[in-house]
Structure 1
Amino acid sequence: MDDLIRIPCVMMRGGTSKGPFFLSRDLPADPVERDRLLIEIMGSGHPLQIDGLGGGNSLTSKVAIVGPSSRPEADVDYLFAQVKVLERSVDTAPNCGNMLSAVGPFAIEAGLVLPTGDETVIKVHNVNTGKIIDARIQTPGGAIAYQGEAAIDGVPGKAAPVYLAFRDAIGAKTGRLLPSGKATDVILGLEVTLLDGATPVVIITAEDMGYSGSEPAAAFDADAAFMARLEEIRREAGRLMGMGDVSQSVLPKPVLIGAPASGGDLAVRYFTPANCHTALATTGAVSLGLAATIPTGLVGRRFPELSLPATLAFEHPTGELRVRVEKAIGDNSPTVSVMRTTRRLFEGAALVRKDA
């Protein structure tokens, strides 16, 4: 195999996403070279990513790059890369909270962090947003536990829980919770909330777009007129949020909200943005948790009696995702926590052709 380059990697599921995990030292330091390599590894440019490790879906075409922390207050650095499926391009603007849930276990098994008893808290510096998230990992007897009794919708079976606390989630990309300075704005005649929490989102009432917010993901994907209008709203939202031309970026993410249909607190449909997410992004759920604390925003209006701490259940196409919203000790700023699960799927090396 002299014509192939071997790059050590571990395939992991994190929450409702999965992809290869790499140590930063094993990839090129130059972003252009690194991204070109990731495109080849994932097989982008084909709907099935047939010549790579990607799964032909945005949720399975993700990469995590982990290494020693560049900040003294954190334990590890985590750079998330969204590798496009059809386009041969990589977006490192967003964070992915689902993939984040696998960062702690990967870091421990890679020797970057030592376990500290039956539970280990790892402070993860997300390089994409500059934020630090606490990941609480189960390490009974000083060893990673993947098996357990926790379950999350969108993933079959049970596993050990991973608790993520987004203690400083406000302003991931713009530095402000409300980038436009207002709780609501009007885009194309529709009232929206532009919010930058763990990820920038444009929140829209589903009924204003002709939906209830409880439809299956495929129903939105099949509605070409709806998707075109949603993209138009998203691009204008990016401009109003001070993000400029976002036509080549996945940020901000559109989110439809509606009345709950299955006993939760809010129906949510999250877009990636080219498709409707079959579940709900962790960073999107965290942002909605923060949005609930703004009484005059579209989400906050639905929780007029909200008092912290509170647990909110967001219904998504394959179940629900619960978030815990509470006040941080000291400054009383809202902290949002979620529970995810993870699993180590495969370990070995990604093979790349030298002539690529």
Structure 2
Amino acid sequence: MSQFRVSCAVYRGGTSRGIFFNKEDLPEDRKLQYKIFMSGIDAYNPSQINGLGSGTSHSSKVCVISKSNHNEIDVDYTFYQIGIGEELVDDKGTCGNLMAAVGAYAVDEGLVDVEPHANQIDVKVFNTNIKRVLTINVPVINGKAKVAGDYMVPGLSQPGAKFVISILDPGGGKTGRTLPLGSVYALKTEEKSYDVTFADAVNPFVFVQAKDLGITGVEPNRELASNKALLDEIETIRSKMAVVSGMAATIAIAKQAPSVPKIAIVTEPQDYVTQEGELIKADDVDLVAKMLSMGAFHRTFAGSGLYCIAAAAMLLGTIVNRFTREPDNNHERIIRIGHPEGVANVKVARYKDKLDIAYVGLERTARRIIKGDLYIPE
């Protein structure tokens, strides 16, 4: 069988990895684009052995970058979540981790001008998925994105150069409001009733309390992943909320689009042990959370989810806000989120009227892994 070639690069950003394309190198036909994305990752096999994925949601990703036509914007960026064992290309959400790599790609590919002796540059990015502008502070050396550094991201074993991502007015990208259903929504399933929060900040998320699911929220992922009844109930909550929020017309359609909204389980600060055996003390976090992506527990916590949970933590009355310890009159703070592989710190600011979020910010590392030609079967 013959194959054709498409230029691309593979980048890691935070705890995610994806294939990056310059839009100019892709065909205009959308169906052919999707074939390239699915073949490149190998959406067709659960193991993704025939492509560059690795059978996990945080490595089944594609980003398409182009020079922007918007005023004062450097590049446009579209994110695609690719299926695992199913033919799926989903652009309804975005990826907060790979945003750092978008900045690195823009610098490495010469899509922005870098001063000869600069050690950093702010890259202005328009994310088409959420229709929001990002500012990505990219460390540079010799005109390229810097890789080496001493900043450590939980979920990685080696430090790197620090990238800082800031998103202004992150709420309402998909539904028009950060809390389209109010602070808390009462949801009924066949099993029981739940108080949940639906928050639309960067990526839409459903937040449910661990205790309402009959768990502590700090159990190992492998233990929870073997509980089919729990997974089924979580998916029921997620898909029902997709319909209630207007993101899906029916439960069946919601189940066909498992990438958004995502769902996270939250609980109060408590001692727990990470998947690597590190003890996290209750005093080191403002809350503890686990998230699911594409029906599976996330190894760490998606960057887009970190933005969303931090935003929800600052909005009065939400499920997440119930667990924050500092006084509610603080308009800007760092939210410390305990997740399965450590603690993530997210900077978040609320407008003075306390009704919405002014910005969210996250620090990540990124690097180019490989650049070359991707071969796609005819």
What TM-score comes out, normalization by structure 2 length? 0.89
2:124 counterpart letter in structure 1: K
Deviation, 1:272, is 0.4
Cα distance in structure 1, aligned partners of 2:157 and 2:113: 30
The residue correspondences of 1:1-356 to structure 2 (distance < 5 A) are 3-116=2-115, 117-140=118-141, 142-180=143-181, 182-188=182-188, 189-244=193-248, 245=250, 246-249=254-257, 250-260=259-269, 261=271, 262=280, 263-303=284-324, 305-306=327-328, 307-327=330-350, 333-354=357-378
Contact 2:348–2:357, Cα closer than 8 Å, also in 1: no
Deviation, 1:327, is 4.7
Deviation, 1:89, is 1.4
1:326 counterpart letter in structure 2: A
1:312 counterpart letter in structure 2: I
Instruction: Tell me: CA distance 1:142–1:110, structure 2 relative to 1, closer, same or farther (3 Å).
Output: closer
Unaligned 5+ segments in structure 1 are: none
Task: Indicate the SS of the match to 1:271.
Answer: strand
Instruction: Tell me: CA distance 1:274–1:70, structure 2 relative to 1, closer, same or farther (3 Å).
Output: farther
Cα distance in structure 2, aligned partners of 1:242 and 1:311: 31
Aligned-pair identity in percent equals 29
Task: Indicate the SS of the match to 2:297.
Answer: coil
How many aligned positions are there?
Answer: 352
Contact 1:8–1:26, Cα closer than 8 Å, also in 2: yes
Show structure 1 runs of 4+ deviating over 4 A: none
Contact 1:134–1:165, Cα closer than 8 Å, also in 2: yes
Deviation, 1:220, is 2.2
Cα distance in structure 2, aligned partners of 1:215 and 1:26: 45
Contact 2:196–2:207, Cα closer than 8 Å, also in 1: yes
Contact 1:10–1:22, Cα closer than 8 Å, also in 2: yes
Task: Indicate the SS of the match to 1:37.
Answer: helix
Task: Indicate the SS of the match to 1:40.
Answer: helix
1:324 counterpart letter in structure 2: K
Deviations 1:235-281 (A, max 9, x none): 11111111123221121111100122222111010110410111011
Which deviates more, 212-221 or 344-353? 212-221
What TM-score comes out, normalization by structure 1 length? 0.94
Task: Indicate the SS of the match to 2:145.
Answer: coil
2:46 counterpart letter in structure 1: P
Deviations 1:36-58 (A, max 9, x none): 22111211221211111111111
Cα distance in structure 2, aligned partners of 1:300 and 1:168: 19
Cα distance in structure 1, aligned partners of 2:247 and 2:19: 29
Contact 2:331–2:351, Cα closer than 8 Å, also in 1: no
Which deviates more, 282-291 or 137-146? 137-146
Deviations 1:202-244 (A, max 9, x none): 1000111011111222222211111111111111111111112
Instruction: Tell me: CA distance 1:107–1:187, structure 2 relative to 1, closer, same or farther (3 Å).
Output: same
Deviation, 1:28, is 2.1
2:343 counterpart letter in structure 1: E
Contact 1:212–1:259, Cα closer than 8 Å, also in 2: no
Unaligned 5+ segments in structure 2 are: 272-279
Deviation, 1:112, is 0.8
